[in-house]
Amino acid sequence: MKPIVLSIAGSDPSAGAGLQADLKAIAANGGYAATVVTAITAQNTREVRRVARLAAELVRDQLDAVFSDLKVAAVKSGMLGSADVVREVVRALRKFRPAHYVCDPVLFAGSGVRLLDRQGLAALRRELLPLATLVTPNVDEAEALSGEKIEDLDQAGRAAESLLADGAQAVLVKGGHLRGAPAADLLVTAASRQVFAADFIDTPHTHGTGCIYASAIATGLARGLSLTRAIEMAKKFVTGAIRHGVAIGGGSGPADPLYAMQQPEDGRPRAEFTRAGGGL
C-alpha cells in the first residue's frame, strides 16, 4: 500500500508550485497525496496577482477531516499564510502526531510578494519549528527566520544552528546560487553537517522546485527511508525535474516532477526515474 503524505499548502492555478506541484511530486515518488488548502492564489509564470487566504476554521476542518479518516505517514507544509493557520497546523500535529513533518517555510513568492505576515513568521518560528522533523528554507527564508546574512555555506550553517536552537530536529538550507557552492544544500543536525550537491542547471524554468523538493523528501520519509537517504533521493529527483523544466508561459516555467514517468520513444522508462527513487 502506498504511504499517505499530506500536503498543506496554497493552490497555484498554473500548476507549477503549491498543492499542484506537491501532488505530482508525491505521486511520482510512490506516495498517495492528500491535501489541505490554505490559500487560493491568482498567479501564472509571470506574477502573483492575488492571494486569498482561507479562514483558519476552514483549514482546521480540512485537517480534522483528513487525519480522522486517513493514516497519514508524513506531512509537508508549504504556504500557510497567517499566524492563525500556523496555529491550526500546530494543533493538528500535536493532536494526531504523524511520524514525520517536513516544514517548507514559504515566506515569499518568486516575484517577491510576501506570503506570510510577520505575526505568522513569529508563530512559525516559536510554535511550528519545534514540531518539524526537517525544515527546508531557501537562503532568503533562512535569513528571514534566523536574522543571519547568508552568502556561503558557513553562514548557512550558522543560520541553521539558530533554527535548531528554536527546536527543529534538522535544517536543510537550500543553496541555490550560494557563492562558491551553486546547487549545494546544507543539512545541519545537532550531531553533524552534510552537503548535498548536484550539477547547477542554468535555466529559468525552476518554478515550484522548493515544493517538489520538500514533497519528495516527505514521501521518502513516509516510505521508511532515513533522513539522509530521503534527501539524497529527493535531491536527484528535483535536479531531474529542473533539467526537464517546462517552457510554458511568458515567465519562469515550472520544473517537471512527472518527467521520470514519461516514456521515451523506445518505450522504456527513463533511467533517471530509477536513480531518483520515484515509483518504488
Residues with catalytic roles: 174, 206, 208-211
Q: 6, 76 in Cβ contact below 8 A?
A: yes
230 Cβ partners below 8 Å, 6+ apart? 216, 217, 218, 219, 220, 221
Distances (CA, A) of 232 to 44, 101, 131, 214, 221: 30, 17, 22, 12, 12
Distances (CA, A) of 109 to 33, 39, 49: 23, 13, 11
Residue with cell 498543506: 8
